[in-house]
Amino acid sequence: MKVEECDLLVKNANVVTMCERTPRARGFAVKSGRIVTIFQIGEELEGFAGEILEVLDVGGKTVIPGFFDGHTHLASLGVGFSHLNLGGTKSLVEALDRIKDKVEEVGEGEDKWIIGFGWDEAIWEEMRFITGEDIENVAPKNPVFLRRICCHLVTVNSLAFEKLKIDPDALGVEKDIGGTVTGVLADVKLDLSSIRPSKEEVKEAIAKACYYANSLGITSVNDFFSDYQFEPYLEMDREDGLKGEERRLTVRVILCPKIDFLEELEERKLKARDGSNFLKMGSLKIFFDGSIGAHTAKLSKSYRDKEETTGKFMRTREEFRELIERAVIFGFQTASHAIGDEAVKMVLDVFEELEEKYPEIKGQRHRIEHAELLTDESMERIKDLDLFLSMQPNFLRWQGEKGFYWLRLGEERCGKLNEFRKIIDMGIELSFGSDGMPLGPFFGIKHVVTNPRSNVKMSLEEALYCYTLGSAKASFLEHERGSIEEGKVADFIVLSEDPFKVSPKMLDKIRVEKTFVGGLLVYDRERDQIA
């Protein structure tokens, strides 16, 4: 088979294309950042009709499309690299020791903030939230702000509480039996402008996060970013456009702001899917409820370990309806954060009501983010409304017998969480993302393909689809990304092992050898030595 002039020729590969027509291939050619020719298994190259700038012989290794993380917080992850990482701590004592060490590193002082993230009491020996009193014992002279892994719950000490001017009577501010503030804040609206990084620091953080994502094989993301990260993203994209191959945005980012940001978009005259090949406008996020970890996901029945609450709605039904209607009128896809069964029901009630007024709503691919606790009735309604589900297979790690979700919800409801098998068997559109807990796709894929529950377990090919073409489709990009096909962007990764030949329990041990975005090498494990 002859090949025309191309920039990159990938050969001697085990290509998993994620394309139904040709699920496996031997190689492909790339020109101007796009795939121009696919070599089928058994085809031989007879010669080249033109110049080939680079040949990549992968020696029989597996090549798959770059991962598309359908729901994460890329910029915030990068900002977090400069903060105190409490992820992976096995006990409250270990977490407090890390805080103490950080105080020794930065020194004491009311202007020396300690900002931490990633703590997860579900894996701590003590199995309880960190409190302001705990922090006072190791950092009495520094303001301390610590986000739980779900980001829906924060713990602060008294100095941080004072500096952030938090209303002690605000909804979500936890108090003990005597009415004293504990420092635990569950989905409390906070003004954090005083502790935000500068614009240049954010741009540097985004670049580092992109590189880290590339090391995990991620080439596209939906970034549910914070407002202050918007301008740095825009500037980076403009600056990268002048630099050619010397990019800092090495991940294609779909920007997904909160619904409150819509006024800003209207002023800038930015519409859905506006942007460049590396930065586009995506869906508008609407919080219907909180998280299971913070006891704020809205349930139809009370929490097993906190019977006085069923969680909470973030707004009234009328407010939800007005927000979604506004997005529909403006032409934006919505991403409704709804975890509890009652929150999901509210989403469906609103969409059914709006569908009568706006028939075009079905073609806008509106999404429900997380959707962890679904009833059979809700699944039927989701299918009827043509809604997309954006879910996280890595959350399954909390769903084991006597695990964290069992503690919160009890055995029966725990068994009904994240029913991926049932969802795809019903024909509901499903995409996978990480929510940054953790970022690596193979971590979540391993959990869903090894899950013992028949209503959850998926095949490896199905899980890969949800993390590639499924996520692309949920973002209107299935004709551009998500599979290795002629005409699509050349975003692909080379793996250390064939995921279809290793033990499913070893999937998270597979390493990304190389990552290409638009046919350009953005990560090389042998060269870079970071993963």
79-93, 241-255, 428-442, 492-506: least confidently modelled range? 241-255
Question: What are the tens digits of pLDDT across the range 173-210?
Answer: 999 999 999 999 999 999 999 999 999 999 999 999 99
Using alpha carbons, select from 302, 290, 300, 295 the residue that is nearest to residue 128.
Answer: 295
Digit-coded pLDDT (tens) for 258-317: 999 999 999 999 988 999 999 999 999 999 999 999 999 999 999 999 999 999 999 999
- Considering the four listed CATH numbers 3.20.20.370, 2.40.50.140, 3.10.310.70, 3.40.1390.10, the one that applies to the domain covering 83-195 is 3.10.310.70
Domain ranges of the chain: 83-195, 283-482
DSSP string, 415-462: TTB--HHHHHHTT--EEE--TTSS--HHHHHHHHHS---TTT---HHH
pLDDT of residue 531: 46
pLDDT, tens digit (0-9, with 9 covering 90-100), for 319-369? 999 999 999 999 999 999 999 999 999 999 999 999 999 998 988 999 999
Asked if 419 and 456 touch (Cβ cutoff 8 Å), the reply is yes
List, edge to edge, every strand of the sheet that includes 367-370.
Answer: 284-287, 334-338, 367-370, 388-391, 430-432
Residue 5 pLDDT more than 90? no
Q: What pLDDT sits at residue 44? A: 59
Quick one: pLDDT band at residue 46, thresholds 50, 70, 90? low
pTM of the shown model: 0.93
Does residue 50 have a pLDDT over 70? no
Share of the chain above pLDDT 90, in %: 88
Does domain 283-482 bear CATH number 2.30.42.10? no
pLDDT in tens, 115-167: 999 999 988 999 899 999 999 999 999 999 999 999 899 999 999 999 999 99
Give the pLDDT confidence score for residue 210 in this predicted structure: 98
pLDDT band of residue 6 (cuts 50, 70, 90) is confident
Which of the four pLDDT bands, split at 50, 70 and 90, describes residue 2?
low
Q: Is the pLDDT of residue 45 over 70?
A: no
Q: Residue 220 — very low, low, confident or very high, per pLDDT cuts 50/70/90?
A: very high
pLDDT over 80 (residue 530): no
What is the SS3 assignment for 54? strand
In the block, tokens 């903060």 appear at: 83
Q: Which residue's structure tokens are 């084991």? A: 400
What tokens does 249 get?
């945005």
The predicted pLDDT at position 52 comes to 72
Spatial distance between the Cα atoms of 335 and 96, rounded to a whole number of angstroms? 36
Q: What percent of the chain has pLDDT over 70?
A: 96
Q: What is the gyration radius of the CA atoms in the chain, in angstroms?
A: 23
What pLDDT is recorded for position 106?
94
- Share the mean pLDDT of the chain: 94
For residue 4, the model assigns a pLDDT of: 67
Q: What is the mean pLDDT of residues 213-239?
A: 97
Please name the residues in contact with 223: beta carbons below 8 A apart, sequence gap of 6 or more. 72, 73, 74, 75, 253, 254, 255, 256
Residue 427 has pLDDT above 60, yes or no: yes
How far CA 350 is from CA of 307, 316, 388, in Å, comes to: 28, 11, 15
User: pLDDT class for 403, splitting at 50, 70, 90?
Assistant: confident
SS3 391: strand
